[in-house]
Structure 1
Amino acid sequence: MKKPILSLLTFFAASSLSITSCQTPPEVNQEDVTRIITTLASDEMEGRMIFTPGIEKASQFIQEEFKKAGLEYLEGMDSYNQQFNIYSITPGNAIISVDGKVVEPQNFLTMSSAESLEWPELEGVTVHTVAASDNFQSKYGEISRMSGKNLVLVDPAHKDFFGRVKNFTLRANRATEVNNNDATVMVLTNNTAIKSLNVKIENTVKAQSLSNVTGKITGNRENEIVLFGAHYDHLGIREGMEGDNLFNGANDDASGTTAVITLAKYFAAMGKKPERTIVFVAFTAEESGGYGSRHFSEQLNPDEIVAMFNIEMIGKGAKEGPNTAWITGFEKSSFGKLLQEAVEGTEYTFYPDPYPTQNLFYRSDNATLARLGVPAHSISTTQIDIDQDYHKASDEVSTLDMAHMTNTIKAIAKAAERMISGEQTPTRVDPSGLR
């Protein structure tokens, strides 16, 4: 005789997670879920764009919710506010001389996070070439990620693409640090080898403040961490648009941030110390380059992060039907399979990402941690290929299914049980196989 399938509601009413022996287990409450997401996606938050009063209000709200939950601060911090700077680099004057001849401005470009630098000679500079027969567009991706001192000699056959790249590099760009040593200089030239080089670059640098919101519940195994994260920034107010120009970002990603807050309250209310430490983070600047997750990843030892649940856009029903969610990068670790096992016997199911051509594994904050070997995956339910509200002003709370969202948060809590208790440990991601 087959055992009946329990609904998640019945499961959570009848039992608690194995990490606790509470007589009255905490609940994931739809009313509270609705309150949190309605606040985060309200017009008052102005679309939560970085460097705006709106995102500061959102940060304060999340910090207050973490305080209500009773979360601890991360080690070395005296608040939930993980503040850091990024730098706006505006290109200024640059003079490039090759073999004693000054290169005309239209024939060179610089990529640098320096305030100023000077290379009086070729020594210490790595020289690369882009031949006429090379695919410059393909090679540009590699070039843009190079570190150190680099000179790239580009054949004039690539003049048109070189010009487009130059126009792009003339804009202000952002960097996580000011580096007065490293740069990449590209010169349009027939030369494939040079004898001398002189580079002088002056840029304007402006520091800009950002902040993640972080908290934790310390476990018996303090240095084994299960991480729950979501980004709380969005696109803000777009000037010059007709009609509604406020991008509230309810599904993207107030829904994920709501889940992180709710899960923090849920696990904190257990009343018993978890086996593994649980860390909760609301990332900033996911929509603007992933700077929040990049900074966060530098504050912890990635080898101590056992798993990362990155929660992204869970406000709408999934392609596979009710009570389902999908996981990006399913094949890159055993994380997804362990979640499937954890919800066996309930009505909830986790599936591999049904949109592999969209490269969603690389399009959220999990990718930063995964590149460090962490089993870091995004959990989502939205049908991203047909969603009419993604990155639009119409992404409002009224378009979401609160019952579905609440049930998804319950499923994530259930799925994380064995990882938090130490019964399950996902395999690590192989960073060498990642872009």
Structure 2
Amino acid sequence: MKKFEDLRKMAFGDRDKMSSERYFVGLTSFTAGVFSLVLCLFHIASSLNRISIFLAFGTAVVLFVLYVAVRFYGYLLVPKTILTVGGLLILDFTWYTKFLSNGPVLMFILIFAALILLLWNGRALLFLLVFYFINLCVLFYIDYNAGASLLEYPSEEQRSVDIFVSFTIYAFLLLALLYLFKQDFLKQKQKAIHSDALKSAFLANMNHEIRTPMNGILGFSDLLKNPRLTAKTQKEYLRIIESSGLRMLNVINDIMLISKIEAGSLAASMKPTDINLLLQNLYTFYKPEVTAKGMRLVCSNLEETGALSILTDEEKLHIVFTNLIKNAIKYTTEGTIEFGYHVKGTYIEFYVKDTGIGIVKERQKAIFERFIKANIEDVQARQGAGLGLSITKAYVELLNGQIWVESEFGSGSVFSFTLPFANKTVISIN
């Protein structure tokens, strides 16, 4: 079963990492192409008219080209347009040359409405539905006025065999499409159920994360009313109030960022950014906090001289590093926290390494999901809303990079992410 799954991912891509639209177009193109090729071979074996053979072969070629364009080059708009309009016209021509109203192709033309509804939205959907119904009217006119199909069969028996084989092929293709619809529906349903459960737990966690600092602010504000407090005690109470306020502000900021990510309204402001200077500023800012915990902070590129300038969003890159370093500080009690980068060909690989508690293997993918920290039964959960890594992942992907973690429970973690710069980045080392 695993080998089959690996083969499917190699042929059509990972459905969890691709849009449903792209995955569907690629799989449909490939499946329909195979069936068209089988039909072409059957027509050759049956010594049918050249029109029938060329039609089936030409259809297979077009469909395989669409599959390659979607699977390996990422094109979607043109392939799905050709698959929708061209596929419908090819079915029309097949019906006209072979079957007219006696064949199974009309049934598949009816199913094409589901394809149109799945792939299109808005004005494009309205236009294609109008085109679809005009197409049905044209087919009725042709059938009403044409006495027979263009393809002459040697005998009625051969006509029956051709209709049966074609019907069987279309039936398999239809079952494949319906199965794909079902799988996509079940996948979206499971995601919705999972997301709903996580968000419910997230709200429960937010109740704690917001009320705790609020209680600190209100409680110590009330204690400040005591006129007999010493200056030292007042200063300590004010520090606690300030700390609680900052904690609440961080939670609110994370919630606002997640809402923007959910709405897809994030945008990157690309500009030349000095990576060495950015890392030096981070080292200077976090060194006192790390030293205060009795640990050592290391920046592997601190001794770099000159500038390494890449085209990226400096603010978002700073937030990515900030989230990863703060995460390392939170979950590390002794040892070393190290961060830096390596230039590797057409991309730069950044990393943040710690000697903290580590992450069990089963959780290493889940920690990047939104609201995953909301699981209030998590024994590793500490102060915070648990949104930092999901925000970090969204920012890295916005900058056209990838992020991952390598960790062993009890032995620390290494968070790594890449940023491309080939053809878009100016590198200058003085």
Q: Which has the higher helix share?
A: 2
| Greater relative contact order (CA < 8 Å, ≥ 6 in sequence) | 1
Report which of the two structures shows the higher radius of gyration computed on alpha carbons: 2
Common fold by TM > 0.5: no
TM range (shorter): under 0.3
TM-score, reference length from structure 1: 0.25
